[in-house]
Amino acid sequence: MSRLILLNKPFGVLSQFSRSEGETGPTLADFVSVPDVYPAGRLDKDSEGLLLLTDDGRLQAELSDPRFKLPKTYLVQVEGSPSEPALAALRKGVVLRDGPTRPALAEAIDPPELWPRDPPVRFRKSVPDHWIALTITEGRNRQVRRMTAAVGLPTLRLVRWRIGALTLEGLAPGQWRDATSGERPLPATPSPPPRPRSNR
């Protein structure tokens, strides 16, 4: 029986169990003392929230497989006011240096009830900040930060709240739990690969 662990990764923690040369800061080993589990996907050192770990190599690969288009929802504190044109651009997909993103779900939200970040976010008194919820089905390097920056909303704080049907609900920073037998992060069957675009 494969094991699937939900961890609320704190800010500043590396998404790995050991440090590479030149890296500093705490690792997953400082929070999860379970042998032979590995992260399924990554979460930047300066991002917080849900990280999945498993001892099943096949499940680990599937959770990262773009064919499943597994939705991931982020709560994003941004600098500036999210206008409707900016949100519409996120929903349509924005062009990044590595190509256009898939369409996303994006909406302005009230400030969520989250734990205080350590260290606190630095604010500029002259610039307002707001929160958006952004759901994507990709996993490019620092994608959410690059998407919000592309529409003029630099990210101040980034918390991954949901992966598929799994959420952070009830987990404080650094806490983890095993997924129950009825919890499934993946759909029953993967989405078919996208068809190549016609040149005609």
Positions annotated as catalytic residues are 44
Peptide bond into 35 cis (omega under 30): no
Task: For residue 73, give both structure tokens.
Answer: 């929802």
CA angle (72 as vertex; 122, 56 as ends), nearest 5? 115
What tokens does 43 get? Answer: 């979460």
Instruction: State the CB neighbour count (10 A cutoff) for residue 43.
Output: 21
Please choose, from the candidates 133, 91, 75, 90, the residue with its C-alpha nearest in 3D space to the C-alpha of residue 108: 133
Give Cβ neighbours of residue 163 (< 8 Å, ≥ 6 apart).
Answer: 41, 50, 52, 63, 70, 71, 72, 185
Q: Which among 126, 144, 127 has a CA at the least distance from the CA of 135?
A: 144
Sequence letter at residue 99: G
